[in-house]
């Protein structure tokens, strides 16, 4: 009982660190109901742009501030890492009450304010507002199509002019759903479900907010309005207005901010309110990606089938039917994988680095599979901002014990002894996180110089270091200790003292580089949607497709590595260890090159060296993780294949 209580206390303490909220309530998990006339305030997130990808605080611009001051919302680890900074705002609504209100009038704009507003408008920065945990949406017409956006622009520049006009009037439409009393209902978003029975329906009755939309416009207000008090009533505005009546950004100009809100009854139920944001577009493309992957798998499976059931089995049968003298004569006459039987398990060069990379690869692969699995089955709601990234970090740290075990056991298998296991465990714990930490430190320094909210606070910086050295490293060392207690994998054949000479081959590197194109072919379509989600501010929630693609990618990597390993063995090249790793791991090279291609052709609006460095830095980290994960899949499959192949050869 005491042990259970201590274990529970440790879990609660750890959750309190990663989720610094007043309670363990996940945003969007439970239904909120509001009464007629109840006041509800909108919140604002960081300003974001697809041009620079540098988030900035909402109040870095001369916007109206709340009467009781700016208050930051509690944020979890994932939100902080993504650069979210959620603050309260002066925009408040009385539930189910339509009104048009005055907010404030700024002081005359100085040169710095004008320069900043113009720069943010030219860089296409968006204001991201949140009501009841729903991001605000707006709609635009382009080429006869209605396009949905989250957020609204800071300002705009009309065609044919260089003048900048600021968005200072917002027309909100809040969709509400009122349910009848005295009925049993079930609500939930995949994270939890709630039953509302007749007994407590009176306490639960009210209005559910199921939609939040805005029409932004620029309006030149009369100077007399500057004498108004906050939340005084003003006349409604028909948007858009003529350019002559819009608010120009220029020095010594006072800007008046107003807004109006309209509540509209909707048939949308609370559990379905995120459907409009997560509406899956291009599902046929996702299915095409999966079918394309299946065709590649079947093609490679046919090759593997031929290798196993025809070539290998036939050679083994012929080899085992001969006596020892005939086998010796056959070894002199024949070539191929049978001639490297005394060298195939010779220790590879840089064996410590190989063990470290395999350990890290298993850790990353396990994290990816577990995270996508939970997301695919609805355990990570999009309403819970940052929880996906937080979950990935927690899973990665906990899987350190698996990484340490795998790295040390492979080290024992290669060396035949446990000597040096602490060094292997430490290297495993520090190799990938160390590279990520160095890259993020450089990028964070760039963000600090730009005063971006994307820069990690110094407290979080040291908090991540503490998690690394106080949680991840000890778990990895513990896994390494368990690895020393595990039996090493026994090789089926002995290794000769003198290495066999390897025939000269000119195209080995080309085969390895070319092998990466097949796994990339199963991935690149889904990669486009993921990149669009990250860099173009779109929601990505088709984790079911992503889980299928990930599993197909693992199968393709395994098959490619086995085929390449067999080809090298047939060419009497016994140095298959690293080649098996990179045969599937080179998919990361194509992922990185595709990311650069996406930067050049799809993110042409991205401006500034800092933005480009951020993109390249994050792409490098992702590509490195993909290389370790896919390379590990290829290596482990090839190791199993080689072990099975030569365990069938009976030789003294």
Look at 182-196, 211-225, 331-345, 531-545 and tell me which has the smallest mean pLDDT: 182-196
Q: Which of 256, 277, 298 is at the close of a domain?
A: 277
Question: How does residue 118 score in pLDDT terms, banded at 50, 70 and 90?
Answer: very high
Look at residue 214 and tell me if it is in a domain: yes
pLDDT in tens, 8-52: 433 333 333 333 333 333 334 456 788 888 899 999 988 888 766
User: What's the average model confidence in pLDDT over 56-61?
Assistant: 90
Tokens 């509209």 correspond to: 264
The residues with which 93 forms a beta bridge, in sequence order, are 40
User: What's the average model confidence in pLDDT over 88-95?
Assistant: 93
Look at residue 565 and tell me if it is in a domain: yes
Evaluate if residue 652 carries a pLDDT over 50.
no
Longest dimension (CA), the chain: 109
Look at residue 1 and tell me if it is in a domain: no
Q: What is the pLDDT of residue 15?
A: 38
Contact 543, 307 (CB under 8 A): no
Question: In whole angstroms, what is the distance from residue 491 CA to residue 565 CA?
Answer: 17
300 in the same domain as 266: no
Look at residue 409 and tell me if it is in a domain: yes
Q: What is the DSSP code string of 121-165? A: HHTT-EE-EEETTEEPEEEEEETTEEEEEESEESEE--TT----E
Question: How does residue 4 score in pLDDT terms, banded at 50, 70 and 90?
Answer: very low
Q: What is the pLDDT of residue 444?
A: 87
Question: In whole angstroms, what is the distance from residue 418 CA to residue 483 CA?
Answer: 9
Element (H, E) at 467: helix 458-467
Both structure tokens of 252: 């010594």
pLDDT in tens, 466-488: 889 999 999 999 999 999 988 88
Look at residue 590 and tell me if it is in a domain: no
Question: In whole angstroms, what is the distance from residue 151 CA to residue 501 CA?
Answer: 65
Question: In whole angstroms, what is the distance from residue 388 CA to residue 372 CA?
Answer: 9
Q: What's the structural domain count of the chain?
A: 3
Question: How does residue 526 score in pLDDT terms, banded at 50, 70 and 90?
Answer: confident
Query: What's the burial of 236, exposed, middle or buried (CB within 10 Å: 0-12/13-18/19+)?
Result: middle
Q: How many CB atoms neighbour CB 172 within 10 A?
A: 20
> What b/e string do you get for 335-366 counting C-beta neighbours within 10 Å, with b at 16 or more?
eebbbbbbbbbbebeebbebbbbbbbbbbbbb
Question: In whole angstroms, what is the distance from residue 118 CA to residue 170 CA?
Answer: 19
The residues near 88 (Cβ < 8 Å, ≥ 6 apart) are 41, 43, 44, 66, 70, 71, 73
The residues near 267 (Cβ < 8 Å, ≥ 6 apart) are 177
Evaluate if residue 108 carries a pLDDT over 80.
yes
Question: In whole angstroms, what is the distance from residue 512 CA to residue 584 CA?
Answer: 8
370 in the same domain as 255: no
Evaluate if residue 227 carries a pLDDT over 80.
yes
Q: What is the pLDDT of residue 357?
A: 95
291 in the same domain as 209: no
Half-sphere exposure of 206 (CA within 13 A, CB side): 15
Q: What is the DSSP code string of 527-543? A: HHHHHHHHHS------H
Both structure tokens of 96: 């189910």
Look at residue 424 and tell me if it is in a domain: yes
**282 against 381, higher pLDDT:** 381
The residues near 235 (Cβ < 8 Å, ≥ 6 apart) are 100
Q: Per DSSP, which regions of 424-521 are E strands?
A: none
User: What's the average model confidence in pLDDT over 433-452?
Assistant: 88
Look at residue 324 and tell me if it is in a domain: no
Q: What is the pLDDT of residue 539?
A: 63
**164 against 148, higher pLDDT:** 164
Look at residue 495 and tell me if it is in a domain: no
pLDDT in tens, 582-601: 998 999 999 999 888 888 87
Range of the domain at 260: 33-182+204-277
The mean pLDDT value of the chain amounts to 80
Q: What is the pLDDT of residue 255?
A: 93
293 in the same domain as 268: no
300 in the same domain as 273: no
538 in the same domain as 472: no
286 in the same domain as 268: no
Element (H, E) at 504: none
User: What's the average model confidence in pLDDT over 485-501?
Assistant: 81
pLDDT in tens, 606-625: 667 788 888 899 899 999 99
375 in the same domain as 232: no
User: What's the average model confidence in pLDDT over 75-83?
Assistant: 73
Calculate the CA 348 to chain-centre distance.
Answer: 34
Which of 196-205, 441-450, 625-634 is predicted most confidently?
625-634
The residues near 547 (Cβ < 8 Å, ≥ 6 apart) are 372, 373, 376
Q: What is the pLDDT of residue 311?
A: 61
User: What's the average model confidence in pLDDT over 542-564?
Assistant: 85
The residues near 301 (Cβ < 8 Å, ≥ 6 apart) are 559
210 in the same domain as 285: no
Look at 300-309, 346-355, 441-450 and tell me which has the smallest mean pLDDT: 300-309
Tokens 């430190």 correspond to: 441
Q: Which of 422, 455, 487 is at the close of a domain?
A: 487
Question: In whole angstroms, what is the distance from residue 644 CA to residue 651 CA?
Answer: 14
User: What's the average model confidence in pLDDT over 82-91?
Assistant: 85
Both structure tokens of 257: 């901010």
Evaluate if residue 639 carries a pLDDT over 70.
yes
Q: Which of 455, 487, 519 is at the close of a domain?
A: 487
252 in the same domain as 120: yes
Stated pTM of the model = 0.78
286 in the same domain as 269: no
> What b/e string do you get for 299-327 counting C-beta neighbours within 10 Å, with b at 16 or more?
ebeeebeebeeeebeebeeebeeeeeeeb
pLDDT in tens, 176-224: 988 665 544 444 443 333 434 444 444 457 888 999 999 999 999 888 8
Question: How does residue 571 score in pLDDT terms, banded at 50, 70 and 90?
Answer: confident
The share of the chain scoring above pLDDT 70, in percent, equals: 79
424 in the same domain as 375: yes
**159 against 169, higher pLDDT:** 169
């Amino acid at each position: 009982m005491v042990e259970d209580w201590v274990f529970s206390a440790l879990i609660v303490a750890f959750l309190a660190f990663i989720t610094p909220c007043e309670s363990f309530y996940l945003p969007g998990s439970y239904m909120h109901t509001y009464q007629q006339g109840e006041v509800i305030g909108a919140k604002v997130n960081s300003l974001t742009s697809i041009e620079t990808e540098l988030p900035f605080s909402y109040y870095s611009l001369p916007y109206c501030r709340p009467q009781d001051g700016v208050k930051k919302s509690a944020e979890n680890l994932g939100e902080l890492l993504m650069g979210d900074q959620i603050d309260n705002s002066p925009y408040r609504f009385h539930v189910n009450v339509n009104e048009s209100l005055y907010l404030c009038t700024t002081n005359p704009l100085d040169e710095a304010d004008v320069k900043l507003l113009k720069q943010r408008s030219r860089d296409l920065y968006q204001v991201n507002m949140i009501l009841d945990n729903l991001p605000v949406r707006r709609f635009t017409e382009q080429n006869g199509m209605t396009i949905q956006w989250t957020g609204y622009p800071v300002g705009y520049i009309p065609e044919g002019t260089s003048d900048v006009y600021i968005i200072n009037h917002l027309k909100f439409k809040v969709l509400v759903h009122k349910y009848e009393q005295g009925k049993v209902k079930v609500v939930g978003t995949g994270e939890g479900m709630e039953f509302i029975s007749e007994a407590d329906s009176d306490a639960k009755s009210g209005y559910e907010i199921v939609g939040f939309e805005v029409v932004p416009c620029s309006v030149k207000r009369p100077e007399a309005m500057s004498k108004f008090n906050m939340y005084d009533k003003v006349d409604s505005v028909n948007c858009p207005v003529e350019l002559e009546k819009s608010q120009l950004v220029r020095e010594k100009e006072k800007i008046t901010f107003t807004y109006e809100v309209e509540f509209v009854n909707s048939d949308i139920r609370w559990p379905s309110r995120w459907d409009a944001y997560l509406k899956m577009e291009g599902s046929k493309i996702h299915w095409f990606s999966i079918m394309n992957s299946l065709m590649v798998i079947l093609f490679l499976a046919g090759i593997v089938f031929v290798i196993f059931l025809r070539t290998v089995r036939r050679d083994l049968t012929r080899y085992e039917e001969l006596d020892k003298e005939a086998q010796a004569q056959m070894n002199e006459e024949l070539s191929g994988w049978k001639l490297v039987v005394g060298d195939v398990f010779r220790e590879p060069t840089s064996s410590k680095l190989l063990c470290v990379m395999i350990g890290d690869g298993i850790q990353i692969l396990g994290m990816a599979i577990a995270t996508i699995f939970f997301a695919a089955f609805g355990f990570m709601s999009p309403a819970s901002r940052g929880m996906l990234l937080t979950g990935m970090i927690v899973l990665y740290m906990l899987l350190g014990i698996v990484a340490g075990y795998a790295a040390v056991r492979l080290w024992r298998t290669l060396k035949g002894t446990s000597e040096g296991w602490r060094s292997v465990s430490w290297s495993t714990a520090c190799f990938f996180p160390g590279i990520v930490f160095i890259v993020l430190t450089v990028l964070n320094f760039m963000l600090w110089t730009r005063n971006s909210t994307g820069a990690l606070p110094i407290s979080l910086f040291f908090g991540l270091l503490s998690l690394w050295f106080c949680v991840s490293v000890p778990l990895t060392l513990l896994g390494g200790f368990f690895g020393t207690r595990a039996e090493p994998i026994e090789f089926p054949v002995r290794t000769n003292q003198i290495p066999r000479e390897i025939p000269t081959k000119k195209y080995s590197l080309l085969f390895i580089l070319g092998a990466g194109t097949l796994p990339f072919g199963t991935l690149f379509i889904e990669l486009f949607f993921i990149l669009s989600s990250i860099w173009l501010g779109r929601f990505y929630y088709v984790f079911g497709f992503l889980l299928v693609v990930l599993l197909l990618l693992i199968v393709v990597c395994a098959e490619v590595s086995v085929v390449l390993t067999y080809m090298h063995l047939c060419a009497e090249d016994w140095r298959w260890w690293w080649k098996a790793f990179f045969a599937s791991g080179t998919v990361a090279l194509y992922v990185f090159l595709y990311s650069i291609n996406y930067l050049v052709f799809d993110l042409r609006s991205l401006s500034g060296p800092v933005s480009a460095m951020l993109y390249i830095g994050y792409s490098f980290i992702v590509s490195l993780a993909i290389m370790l994960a896919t390379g590990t899949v290829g290596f482990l499959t090839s190791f199993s294949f080689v072990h099975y192949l030569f365990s069938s050869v009976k030789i003294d």
